[in-house]
Amino acid sequence: MRGPHNVWRLIRTGATFQRSGAMGVVLQAMDAPRPVRVLARTMGWTFAWLGHRGDPDLPPVTRALTALGPAYIKFGQILSTRPDLVGSDLATQLRVLQDQLPPFATDIAKQTVETELERPLGDILASFDDPVAAASIAQVHKATLAETGEEVAVKVLRPGIERAFRKDIDAFYLAASTIELLSPASRRLRPMDVVDHFDGVVRGELDLRMESASASEFAANTSDDAGFAVPNTNWGLSGRRVMVQSWAEGVPLGDNDAIDAAGHNRRDLGERVLQLFLNHALRDGFFHGDMHQGNMKVAANGDIIAYDFGIMGRIDEYTRRVYAEILFGFIRRDYQRVAEVHFEAGYVPADQDVAEFARALRSVGDPIFGMDASHISMGRLLSHLFDVTEQFGMQTRTELILLQRTMVVVEGVARSLDPHLNIWEVAKPIVEGYIKTHIGPRAMLRDLGKTALVLSRFGPKLPELAEAMLVRQMAQPEPPKRTRIWPAIAWMAVGAAAATTIIWLT
């Protein structure tokens, strides 16, 4: 579906922002330069008649995003956790996008459940209430199981959501390709790869069977986490367009007044949200990729309950170690080591100067070290960080996009609970604990053990590999002056001996 016809979609995006009154709000909230404001206003006025009207009962920006479709709504959800970037008024408006969007008809939801599960609704559920939450891709109904009387949450995809999202993503691809064409400097940010990554994440979110699997894995990983809970998934009543989980009773994490009234400590909750995310990302390599306030509640006993597992992130062990070392370096203000890790991981081109990069990182880290969140302007910080990455030719790492985005969201959630939170102090014990167990002599021994196990599995193949290498060497018409086959065989022998020794010792 990608093609020039998506130009219409982009034009209509700008026109909708102008017609709904969102253009001026966004430009003011982002403190856009005057030339940008003039250009945006001129284009907006020219094409305003082409824009969607939207729901006049909603605030301007929320009205524009909901009129434009689910992908735009997702973007608004992220900004709703960043009052320091868009202002508290706009952030409050955008919070409606998390779980308070206009629902679709309950009768359609019931029909979807019956079609998906191939059973009459009355045989499955004793009650099926009107939607309690409606988001960009699905909505949730509170229901009661007919057999057990258990209260459950029934998640149902919006009708036609797959096609609607496809249209949005296609327009994003066109926008990314246009940006790369017109702005060569933007190519290091890899806009097309970023959209491609977002596309893959959303495709997984549109299949609730994948979400059920993610919820099950996440629950197993976090079963021993104090102060944290995940609803149980009913696999027998879940399918591609329907998902059933145990009901999560609690106070929404975004409702500070209700949290205070229930007697919960918001500072403790803010610290716990941040530490839980770091634990899941570093310890498990599998984390909730959409941890905004609309996807978490506080139970009566103080536990944080997470739900909506459509977007999950996964990072490998090596990336986790790099991420931990970077965080640890910032916490210790060891900018030289932070710079070295960036070079070792290939995040910064090798022809750049390590010492200069360390100095640039110090200019980012030192001004905010030890400060509570209320004194940090994330807008200025991110702007400065962007300048640094551009100066040293750093490219966007698509494998880290979701991790970085979620870190921004979680930090925004934590500061919404306690504006005076010291992020570095909260992160320190988690990062230090990971460093002690995963980087150093113990980690090296563990890696050697894993290597030995791999070699032991391929042990019977080693003679065949050696023979194949010898045959290839002998088949060469003119063998090289110094054959490389014997060093290879020697390394195989050393590896096999090492594997045998380590296995015997363990």
Residues forming the active site: 290
| Neighbouring C-beta atoms of residue 384, cutoff 10 Å | 14
Q: CB of 381 within 8 A of CB of 415?
A: no
The tokens describing 232, both together, are: 């149980």
Q: What residue type is assigned to position 73 of the chain?
A: I
Beta strands in 262-311 (DSSP E): 286-288, 296-298, 304-306
Task: Reduce the DSSP state of residue 92 to 3 states and report it.
Answer: helix
Give dist(CA 114, CA 119) in Å, integer: 5
Residues 6+ apart with CB under 8 A from 151: 142, 143, 144, 246, 247
Give dist(CA 242, CA 156) in Å, integer: 5
The tokens describing 424, both together, are: 């570095």
Q: CB of 84 within 8 A of CB of 377?
A: yes
Task: Reduce the DSSP state of residue 129 to 3 states and report it.
Answer: strand
Q: Report the candidate in 353, 293, 354, 295 with the shortest Cα–Cα distance to residue 329.
A: 354
| Neighbouring C-beta atoms of residue 343, cutoff 10 Å | 15
As beta bridge partners, residue 127 has 144
As beta bridge partners, residue 133 has 140
- Say what the alpha-carbon torsion angle 10, 16, 19, 25 is, to the nearest 10 degrees: -100
Local structure of residue 372 (DSSP, 8 states): -
3-state helix, strand, coil in the chain (%, to 5): 65, 10, 25
φ, ψ at 405 (rounded to 5°): -65, -45
Q: CB of 113 within 8 A of CB of 152?
A: no
Residues 6+ apart with CB under 8 A from 420: 372, 373, 374
Greatest CA separation found in the chain?
Answer: 84
The tokens describing 373, both together, are: 């969140």
- Give the torsion sign (CA, 182, 183, 184, 190): negative
Q: What residue type is assigned to position 495 of the chain?
A: G
φ, ψ at 317 (rounded to 5°): -60, -40
Q: How many residues does the chain have?
A: 506
